[in-house]
Amino acid sequence: MKYTTMAAVALLIGGSYLSAKATLFDPAQSITVETYSDIFFKLESSPVSINEIITGASQFADSLCDESIYQEVIGESVNSCKQKFKQSQAQCAEFIIKNNEPMYTDKVAITQLSEKFINCMTNS
């Protein structure tokens, strides 16, 4: 009886764990892109939209602005980077959306598009 109870508890815990993992990694579930790395995580199970690329690339560019040493090396400051970012984000997003495909499945194309968007925002 003791072993039967322990086995039942182990099966319950194991089943719950596997069920949770299956739900977490279910490709049918929607993955919300909030960071640059989310783009590539979502890409493993479904195409990525141009708006999701912009969201992820914006987060990445914003995080670059927060790196004071990096900003100093390139001759900028955190404040000037953030200011450029705010001033150019909408215009650069509009340009990227207008001149590119709505959905992507290729990592190289996504990386190139992200770089183009980030360069647009930081070189304005």
pLDDT in tens, 27-82: 546 889 999 999 999 999 999 999 999 999 999 999 999 999 999 998 999 999 99
> Does residue 48 sit in the same domain as residue 15?
no
- Residue numbers of the domain that contains 105: 31-122
Tokens 């955190």 sit at which residue?
78
> Does residue 53 sit in the same domain as residue 106?
yes
The pair of structure tokens assigned to 113 is 């598009």
Beta partners for residue 104, in sequence order: 48
Tell me how far apart the alpha carbons of residues 97 and 58 are, in angstroms, rounded to a whole number: 14
Cα 37 to the center of its chain, rounded Å = 4
Residue-level pLDDT at 101: 95
> Does residue 45 sit in the same domain as residue 96?
yes
> Does residue 51 sit in the same domain as residue 112?
yes
The pair of structure tokens assigned to 108 is 């190289």
pTM tops 0.75, yes or no: no
> Does residue 20 sit in the same domain as residue 49?
no
**Into how many domains does the chain fold?**
2
Instruction: Give the CA count within 13 Å in the CB-facing half-sphere of 19.
Output: 6
- Report helix angle 36-43 to 50-65, nearest 10: 150
